[in-house]
Homo-oligomer: A and B are copies of this chain.
Amino acid sequence: MYKKVERFAVLGAGNGGQALAAYLSLNGYTVNLYNRSPERIEPVKKAGGIHLSGVFKGFGKLNEVTSDIKKAVKGVEIIMVATPAVAHKYLARELSPFLEDGQIILLNPGRTGGALEFYNTLQNNGCQADVIISEAQTFLYASRVIGPARAKIYGVKNRVAIAAFPSTRTREVIDCLHPVFPQFSPVENVLKTSLDNIGAIFHPAPTLLNMARIESGGEFEYYQEGITPSVAKILEAMDKERMEVATALGVEPTSAQDWLILSYGVKGRNLYELLQDNKQYQGIGAPSRIDHRYVLEDVPMSLVPIASLGDLLGVDTPTIDIVINLANIVYETNFWETGRTAASLGLNGLTPDQIQRLVNQGTIEDFRVAFEVNQSLYRKADSLIFNTYKRDGEVEAWND
């Protein structure tokens, strides 16, 4: 049963946020667009909306274009977060006084541990509102801002995995979003979305292993010239470690190779060949500078939490550690400290079983006991919903 929602806030007016806001408006929703720095949204404010081109076309009129987060989220049903993950904690802090019961927050995407970090930050800031925090495994669109108040959607993924924290509330998110985003497909829990973070594999290492080429101004195709056989070997080693961490957490991971095959229908005997075979990656240029979210976001928000979870669970992640440590030297920082960790995600000291219970039920206690202890967390608890979630199936399975 889908729930009719009417009002969205989109937080972040970058390549993703502007496309999302325009698309939602074109589909009849009332949309508020927020951006921390007012400069970025000045042209949108002036135009009163965004000209969308590409897969979807038209002028998406916006209700509010603002740098006032309170104004942005007041009265909306859905809050779509479309900022880099490094901003999630800041946003959670800023939002905590203004959130309203029943609001749904979706991180697009959460990278690794986004929903858990968001939840913990709201708790630590005394947020009392009964909101649902959810995260997507990747961003829905390939989109770019192509001019003042102009965005273009180059492609839309067929399926994007999402999960809420706790999983008992994932269905509510799907119920609200399905009419406008039928691509969102529920998976077991936020461990699955967080550990299937393929950006952790495809973003930082190829950027770092091409640092000299980027810094000396060479232009090259990111996936098809930047990920050569040797770079692909490094990525495969990292991917194996990511999957080992996921498995230790009780998550059945999707390998980067399988993800490419499932997402793009490509063929090949190894990661290198699969990437070479992917026509949709053709023309994607490398970053033009080394200070890029591929490292600045994905090292602290993707690799560090995976390595830290590995540490918690006794799973070595030597190749992932190499990439983090290389980044620490190049960026003269300590991503181990600035990044998400098992501790900052509230998972320190927990066993894999306890973590599974936490993400599925919202508490580490045994389900039935916890249900009595804190019934408010389980308003929608339904042991059957997991069976109706088809992990690899099409979202059309929900059209009943």
Would you give the 0/1 interface string for A314-325, flagging 1 where the beta carbon is closer than 8 Å to chain B? 000011001001
Most chain B Cβ neighbours within 10 Å, of A206, A208, A212, A233: A212
Most chain B Cβ neighbours within 10 Å, of A218, A230, A234, A325: A230
Are the C-beta atoms of B211 and A230 separated by less than 8 Å? yes
Chain A interface residue count, Cβ-Cβ cutoff 8 angstroms: 30
Q: Tell me the minimal C-beta distance from A53 to chain B in angstroms.
A: 32
Q: Which residues of B contact A325 (CB under 8 A)?
A: 318-319, 322
Contact of A233 among B225, B227, B332 (CB under 8 A): B332
Given known A-B contacts A209-B209, A318-B325, A330 and B233 have beta carbons under 8 A apart: yes
Given known A-B contacts A322-B322, A322-B326, A225 and B216 have beta carbons under 8 A apart: yes
Are the C-beta atoms of A237 and B319 separated by less than 8 Å? no
| Number of copies of this chain that the complex holds | 2
The yes or no answer to A18 lying at the interface (CB within 8 A) is no
Q: A residues 313-358 with Cβ under 8 Å of B?
A: 318-319, 322, 325-326, 329-330, 332
Are the C-beta atoms of B231 and A212 separated by less than 8 Å? yes
Given known A-B contacts A218-B218, A322-B326, A325-B322, A212 and B227 have beta carbons under 8 A apart: yes
Contact of A319 among B206, B229, B329, B332 (CB under 8 A): B329
Contact of A212 among B226, B237, B290, B332 (CB under 8 A): B226
The yes or no answer to A394 lying at the interface (CB within 8 A) is no
Q: Which residues of B contact A227 (CB under 8 A)?
A: 212
Q: Which residues of B contact A98 (CB under 8 A)?
A: none
Q: A residues 205-219 with Cβ under 8 Å of B?
A: 206, 208-213, 215-216, 218
The yes or no answer to A139 lying at the interface (CB within 8 A) is no
Most chain B Cβ neighbours within 10 Å, of A226, A325, A332: A325
Given known A-B contacts A218-B218, A322-B322, A212 and B228 have beta carbons under 8 A apart: yes
- 7 closest pairs, A vs B, by CB? A215-B228, A212-B228, A230-B330, A211-B230, A213-B213, A216-B225, A212-B231
Interface residues of A (CB under 8 A from B): 206, 208-213, 215-216, 218, 220, 225-231, 233-234, 237, 290, 318-319, 322, 325-326, 329-330, 332
